[in-house]
Structure 1
Amino acid sequence: MEDKYETLKIVQESPNSGVFNLIINRPSVSNALSIDFFNEFPKALSALDQNPAATVIVLSGSGNHFCGGIDLKSLAAIANDNSGDRGRTGERLRRHIKFLQDAITAMERCRKPVIAAIHGACIGLGINIVTACDIRYCSKDAFFSVKEVDMGITADVGALQRLPGIVGFGNAMELSLTARRFSGEEAKNLGLVSQVFGSREELMKGVCTIAEGISEKPPLAVVGTKAVLIRSRDVNVEQGLDYVATWNSSMLLSEDLTEAISAQKHKRKPSYSKL
């Protein structure tokens, strides 16, 4: 896929692979996120979502860190935007925050699984990003911080909403109020990441293997599993069961099901049509 972005790169793992790497690409500033990123990120996700060749997205950072937080110039521009009366300034700021939120939530709206491969720093906005990913892995050198409270900010693009469901309410409260730095091993113990790899190279190799495994599974089942899990997270059990019943009533009877049964019966590798 042609690279059309200033803050991102998209690289297909190999010519015949369904795994696409979406790389935050501002290494000179530790991948601190500018406003341009929030414009480009949902567009890149949408392009991958609509690309039939893409089945799994691996999100990583170039250079020494996954994400160093918000770009301070962008933060200063937001802080200094106080033209107009108080009501209009507040309304404008609210629209801007909603714009930032939507850019991160785009990962949940994306049909394809998004896997975070985290190395080095994952601070502030980095936490907001990875908590919206579907699966998270890190290298041993990774470190994390819910940093916003130290910057005089109540984290507002998803960490406070998603982190409690991942690490538990009490842990999320402690991490968010102290803004303390914690290691990849602690992130694993908390449930924030599923596995810690010994190095960045091992991380990328391991995540690629996992992503390739997912990409070989029936695509309708992969898309459906992600959609149903996210929906069920936000509703009660009865509503979640009703949602999956409706989903499967329209998606279950597919060529994927027939092919999966046939492949298991004949002990061969299945072959599925692209979405």
Structure 2
Amino acid sequence: MNYTSFTLDITDHIATITLNNPEKANALAEDFWTECREVFERITEDPDVRVVIMASTGRHFTSGIDLMYLQSLLPQQDVDPARAMDVMRRKIKFLQAAFEAIDKCRVPVLAAVQGGCFGAGVDLVSACDIRYACQDSFFIIQEINIGMVADLGTLQRMPGQIPDGLMRELAYTGRKYPADEAMATGYVTHLSPDHAGLMSHVRAIATRIAAQSPLAISGSKEMINHARDHSLADGLDYIASWNAGMLSLPDVMKGATAALSKSKAQFDDLLE
């Protein structure tokens, strides 16, 4: 399937999604919001994919939501305000679904960020499992700078990724959050000197993830996300039930044999 907002390549169990509108700083226009949800739903059902890289082209990762598209979402002025707000709420939920699909994707999603990442771009990468960046990249919660509250997940996900006081400062001021600060405060895992080095590093991490048991990777993501949203007791009960029902003895034996023989285990794909 061809997409207009990005390209999709699947090679060696790694799906690479690349935003490809650098002339407009990879602004997230109307087609993106449907295509993003669709591609991650497709990936979740594809047993050949074990990890995703979310990348971009050009100077900036993304300038955020396309402003012309954003303007088209504003409520009508000549109708019942309550009904207009109901439409607006459904439009926001539609946009949120694109990044919910990333968060709920069965496999890990690695964000590779170059240049600026503005507004909805921060919502996007906050929904990813891990963020990597170039040394000169930066993040801005841009919504506050245009008089609105960020509403696509940044204010819900990012507080679990960085300290509370810093989260509030970024949300209230709309200032730049440079890559070195993001690295020091845990939002970013690794910095690379340039885009080529960034992609090389992220592909190396993706290759290591893809070499693991896909069932164990999927289960690990499920457990980490569950722990984020539930109590410790609930999490321990969930993993006990999960492993009681879905621990793969063939995978464990392959992994143990490979460890003892200092070789690489070859794990089967998941089923469709």
The interval holding the TM-score normalised by the smaller chain is over 0.9
Report the TM-score when normalising by structure 2. 0.96
Q: Give 1:9's aligned residue.
A: 7
* C-alpha RMSD of the superposition: 1.2
Asked if structure 2 preserves the Cα contact closer than 8 Å seen for 1:83 and 1:89, the reply is no
Displacement of 1:83: 4.7
Cα distance in structure 1, aligned partners of 2:134 and 2:252: 36
Query: Which one-letter code corresponds to 1:77 in the other structure?
Result: S
Give the whole-Å Cα distance in 2 for the aligned partners of 1:199 and 1:102. 32
For residues 36 and 81 of structure 1, what CA distance do their matches in structure 2 show? 22
- Please tell me whether the aligned partners of residues 13 and 51 of structure 2 are also in contact (alpha carbons under 8 angstroms): yes
CA distance in structure 2 between the partners assigned to 1:182 and 1:131 by the alignment: 14
Quote the offset at 1:28 in angstroms: 1.4
Matches within 5 A, 1:1-275: 2=1, 4-12=2-10, 14=11, 17-79=12-74, 81-275=76-270
- Report the more deviating stretch, 62-71 or 223-232: 62-71
- Could you tell me how far 1:105 is from its partner in structure 2? 0.9
Instruction: Write out per-residue CA displacement over residues 81-122 of structure 1, whole angstroms, 9 at most, x where no aligned residue.
Output: 345210100001001111111110111211011000000110
Count, aligned residues: 270
Percent of aligned positions that are identical = 36
The AA in structure 1 aligned to 2:166 is N
Secondary structure of residue in 2 paired with 1:274: coil
Structure 1 length as normaliser, TM-score? 0.95
Q: Which whole-Å CA distance do the structure 2 matches of 1:211 and 1:71 have between them?
A: 30
**Runs of 4 or more off by more than 6 Å in structure 1?**
none
TM-superposed deviation, 1:254 = 3.4
User: Matched residues in 2 for 1:189 and 1:269: separation?
Assistant: 34
* Contact kept in structure 2, 1:167 and 1:190, CA below 8 Å: yes
**Alpha-carbon deviation of 1:80?**
5.2
Unaligned runs of 5+ in 1: none
